[in-house]
Amino acid sequence: MAETKRKTIEYQVEPDGLIVEIMKRGYITPWELFKIVSWKSAKGVAWLSLNTEDEIISCTKETVAGLNSWSGPVDILAEEMTDALWSEWEVKAGELIGADKKYAEGGVATGLLRLHGVGYPVATAILGLLKPEVFPVMDKWAVETIFGEGASKKRWQTKSKYRAYTQLLVKPEIGQLQKMTTLRGRDKAAMDIAMQNAKAKVESLDFEL
């Protein structure tokens, strides 16, 4: 019997219908953040309840303002990205994503990472949702595809790694990624490749047993 393809659950679909209202309003509402986190990582949903509504609005208002005021590249696949532009991109990404209290100067979290329930993958997902032609989603699965097996076991949640990851998506060496014409298509393909490889390994072990 042919294997039935797993149906995508509705909350796992990218909530791109939120983009216009968020950018026009200037911040992400708690309910919208709930939907975004559910799309990227259901594990973080409960942690969101530790944030107040004002904290969510204040933090995401800074993010949207930072994106709206930035005069950097609008499509990194279509533009000639010089070292100077990449450095500008890295600074902006680092500023918006921020650092958690473990690595932040003075032990005070900054950027999107100061919100409970928002880790590096979710922070990049928020940027990727609002500016999909500029910021890709970066998670442990995609990291394994882009940097090689075992990469997710090392610390990859930094702006320099995010830059290196994005540069490799822009000029991918993996054929399956080259076929994708959008940044979002490439980061999703990178994630899917790693998940399929992990599944194949599990199935192989089951077969041997």
Tell me: the pLDDT tens digits for 44-64?
A: 799 999 999 999 999 999 999
Tokens of 65: 């303002």
Handedness of CA 122, 9, 28, 21 (dihedral sign): positive
Who wins on pLDDT, 201 or 74?
Answer: 74
Region 162-176 average pLDDT? 94
Buried b (16+ CB within 10 A) or exposed e, 144-161: bbbbeeebbeeebbebeb
pTM of the predicted model as reported, rounded to 2 decimal places: 0.90
Check pLDDT > 80 for residue 5.
no
CA distance linking residue 132 with residue 127, whole number of Å: 7
Mean pLDDT value across residues 11-34: 93
Res 32: pLDDT = 96
Structure confidence at residue 12 (pLDDT): 72
Q: Is the pLDDT of residue 173 over 60?
A: yes
Question: Lowest-pLDDT range, 20-24, 100-104, 141-145, 160-164?
Answer: 100-104
Question: Kindly report the CA angle at 148 between 75 and 133, in degrees rounded to 5?
Answer: 10
CA distance 15 to 32: 9
